[in-house]
Amino acid sequence: MRKPLGIAYIIYYICGLIMRNQIITLFGCLILTYGLSSCGEFYKLEKSTNWDELYEAANRYYDKKEYNKAIILYDRVLPVIRGSGKAELAEFNYAYSHFRTKRYIESAGYFKTFHDTYNRSPLAEEALFMHAYALYLDSPDFNLDQRSSKDAVNAIQLFMNKFPESDSYERALSMVDDLQERFEEKAFEESKMYYKLTDGLFPGEFYRACIINFQNFAKSYPDSKYNEELAYKLVEVSSAYAERSVFDKKEERLKQSITFAENFFKKYPDSNYGKKVQNMIARTETELDSHYKVKEDYEKRSAEARKRMQEEEERNREAAEMLRNAEN
């Protein structure tokens, strides 16, 4: 059984709690007082027209990484100091403040403006790189619209062309490679979409779209890991398209499908798709032989029909001639 605590210990314990409470309260008050004084200081700066004070305060907030406050003060002071010796650093920090707060599109514009305005500055190279880097960070995933990614590629290439000896050149090159992979993924997703549409009730135009799309993909991305798969699907869709074609177009399209298959084996002789492609070639060649027979029969029948028509026309002329002679 626990012994009851002595009265002296209880008093000591309560006094300790009170003291700790007072210390905590005092500490909280100090923090609150500091916060309020800071807010009051910033509020006064917002209303100030002392441009030197604003300039120094904006730089001070920037150095303290309080970028939102820095932006507010730079917004006030920049129109006044623009063109002076102080403007260069202020505009550079202003661009970086937007970048640090992940306002990438805005920061990209400010970095580009800085570079164009201060192109002889030692900061110009960094500004042009940051212009490209901000656009790169803003570029979306491959499954979204890639127009902004193309703007990023153009900006990176501008930097690489202007500063080929830059320490950031290799980094810029890796950014381009990453964006090119996104373009490739986006293009491949579009190719797969066209391929899926051939399963519909009216696949004709989608077969044609696949044939064009797959060939364009191979031209745009000759080293892509997806080229073998799309080359196989090119044989597949071209064969299906040829088999469903009207008579006048069928021979040409069957031959084209066989050509695609032959090109596939030249490029991928050991492909896992090889057996399937070989089967498609055999089926397409059989279809082409059948087409030749139908064509030969059609041409034979057409020739016979033309001959009969000519004979009929000849008999009609002879009959007309005999009639005219009889009347005379």
Give tens-digit pLDDT for 57-107: 999 999 999 999 999 999 999 999 988 889 999 999 999 999 999 999 999
Domain for residue 215, yes or no?
A: yes
pLDDT band of residue 51 (cuts 50, 70, 90) is confident
Domain for residue 73, yes or no?
A: no
Domain for residue 164, yes or no?
A: no
What type of residue sits at position 158? L
> Distance between CA atoms of 244 and 247, rounded to whole angstroms?
9
Tell me the C-alpha to C-alpha distance, in Å, between residue 250 and each of 66, 207, 243, 291.
71, 14, 7, 8
- Mean predicted confidence (pLDDT) in 201-209: 82
pLDDT at 211 over 90: yes
Domain for residue 294, yes or no?
A: yes
Domain for residue 8, yes or no?
A: no
Confidence at residue 61, expressed as pLDDT on a 0 to 100 scale:
95
Structural domain total, the chain: 1
Confidence at residue 303, expressed as pLDDT on a 0 to 100 scale:
75
Domain for residue 31, yes or no?
A: no
Domain for residue 220, yes or no?
A: yes
* pTM score of the predicted model: 0.69
Domain for residue 255, yes or no?
A: yes
Quickly list DSSP for 261-328: HHHHHHH-TT-TTHHHHHHHHHHHHHHHHHHHHHHHHHHHHHHHHHHHHHHHHHHHHHHHHHHHHHH-
> Distance between CA atoms of 62 and 65, rounded to whole angstroms?
5
Tell me the C-alpha to C-alpha distance, in Å, between residue 233 and each of 152, 216, 225, 271.
32, 14, 14, 13
Torsion angle defined by CA atoms of residues 284, 286, 288 and 293, in that order, rounded to the nearest 10 degrees: -170
Range of the domain at 293: 198-303
Confidence at residue 160, expressed as pLDDT on a 0 to 100 scale:
97
Confidence at residue 1, expressed as pLDDT on a 0 to 100 scale:
43
User: Long-range contact list for 52-57, CB < 8 A, 24+ apart?
Assistant: 55/81, 55/86, 55/90
With a CB cutoff of 8 Å and minimum separation 6, the contacts of 327 are none
CATH code of residue 275: 1.25.40.10
Identify the DSSP state of 4: P
* Tens digits of residue pLDDT in 112-141: 999 999 999 999 999 999 999 999 999 877
